[in-house]
Amino acid sequence: MAGDDPLSFGAASQVEGPSVAQEDGFGYGHGPLEDAHHLGPAGHDPLSIGDPLSAAAAAGAEPAPEPSAPQLPQQHAAAVAAVPPPMQQQQQQQQQPPQASAYPPPFERPPPRQNYPAVPAPAPPPAVGSVELRISVHSPTTLRGPTGLPGARASVERYLNRLAAHPVVARSEALRVWLESDGTLRSSPAWLALQPQTPTPVQATARLVKTLTGLQPAAPTPAEAARPPGASRDLYRLMHERLAAARGALEAAPVSPEEAKLRDDGALLEDLRETLSAAVAKADAWAAAAADLATVWGDLGAALEGLATFEGTYSSAGVQQPTAALATAARACAASRALGTGGAARLLDALQPLRDHADALPNALAALEQRRRQLLTSVTLQQDLDHVRARLQAAQLAPGTKARRVEELRRGAEALEASQAAAAGGYERLAARNASELAALGAARGAELAAALVHIAGVLRAQDEQAAAGWQATAGALPPGAPSKFYRA
């Protein structure tokens, strides 16, 4: 349908999520300070004092009499007697094969989150004149993992629902053909019948040469005047209109109240685009911080679990109670991680209307720009028509003017009059469409953003209630701690 350019509401299919946070540069292995004790001679540990009896015998001196050893309890004396000398310990360690240590492994950071491959968006159909049925893929959907495909499906469904509710596109022939065509649109006869004939670059160049040499009229046809210059590849018209815009043709033309209001709305949309872009950036940072906090809860739970394993393995029987408390706290942290991960995903879904309306503004501004260019075409053709009419009147009043010249000017004036009427009709149609689309977009934005805020408040309240109930249960399962004079309870 010539002249229809739907204002896409930016219902996104899905795009690449935010980049996964890179690992920091701090190594988790042994550093130079931890490996410093390996710098001594082979078989010698510089941190130990060695065997004094062996050192005295190597120097040729009489060993000093051993002092009387204190009397130890029987169980401790048996344990001390079973320990071999230091050198014998080193020889036994060299002879024995390496065994797996019972010491719990150092805490390892969990692997980073993976960026799942993005689901390809459906290919948008080609343009039909000024009708462009395209799916915006600018929305920074950050769904990861198996939720990516349902998120993309929901975005496409939301886009189709917006098309069905659009004040102009819902009744267009192009939308009906697009929905009913099977296979590729380029092979659909119904779709090809809606497409205007676009000249090739060679034909456009030949037309420019004929126009400059006077072999072809410079004025566009009424069908061409109702469309942008790029649709017909009229290079002469494109340069002529740009020159008229540089000379201030739009500023000098009279402005109707409807046009003045649309220009004011366009300036407000520019400011709104910057505001919504900043809000989307902050909202994405908020959701990313919530996901990172969930990861931190998981890291803390893994660290507490490792500490509980250490205490249970190497501590005496008197610390079993703190070991159980650490294990309980580790499970609570793991539950907090699962709760935070789910809450971050729900928060992303609740913020989707904000992204959709931020993505709709570039298309809205493009629609306003198309109306402005159509107005420039109408104003330029009106100026050309006034100039030809003045020349025709002068030729009719001048004595000795040939009738052929007067007839050429008259036919040129008639052609320009028809083209200008078509251009003015196209402008009026686009202006009415801009007004209806902006009204519908503003009403949808107010209602949907208000509903999004209610959804976000519900998500945060439910997450806080579940977290409070979980930590209350954890506090009830923890054993009572002993009072300490160093810390307040």
List 222's β-bridge partners, or say none. Answer: none
**pLDDT (average), residues 25-32:** 34
User: Cα separation of 242 and 237, whole Å?
Assistant: 8
CA 221 to chain centre: 44
**pLDDT (average), residues 66-89:** 46
> Considering only 57-61, 162-166, 184-188, which range has the smallest mean pLDDT?
57-61
User: Cα separation of 156 and 304, whole Å?
Assistant: 44
The whole-number pLDDT of residue 483 equals 66
Query: 454 pLDDT exceeds 80?
Result: yes
Dump pLDDT digits (tens) for 227-281: 887 777 888 888 888 888 888 888 888 888 999 999 999 999 999 999 999 999 9
List 128's β-bridge partners, or say none. Answer: 131
Dump pLDDT digits (tens) for 286-317: 988 999 999 999 999 999 988 888 888 876 65
Tokens standing for 371?
Answer: 């109306």
Dump pLDDT digits (tens) for 381-395: 998 898 888 888 888
- Separation in Å, CA 248 to CA 219, 372, 421: 20, 13, 21
User: Cα separation of 57 and 75, whole Å?
Assistant: 32
The whole-number pLDDT of residue 489 equals 57
Level-2 CATH architecture, domain 225-477: Up-down Bundle (1.20)
Higher pLDDT, 188 or 334: 334
The whole-number pLDDT of residue 148 equals 64
The whole-number pLDDT of residue 431 equals 92
The whole-number pLDDT of residue 317 equals 58
Task: Look at the block and give the residue holding tokens 């043709």.
Answer: 249
**pLDDT (average), residues 201-226:** 83
User: Cα separation of 180 and 276, whole Å?
Assistant: 35
- Predicted TM-score (pTM) of the model is 0.60
Dump pLDDT digits (tens) for 404-452: 888 888 888 888 899 999 999 999 999 999 998 898 888 888 888 999 9
Q: CATH 1.20.1270.60 spans which residues of the chain?
A: 225-477
- Separation in Å, CA 291 to CA 282, 303, 332, 473: 14, 19, 17, 24
Task: Look at the block and give the residue holding tokens 């600018």.
Answer: 138
The whole-number pLDDT of residue 142 equals 36
Higher pLDDT, 42 or 326: 326
Amino acid at 147: T
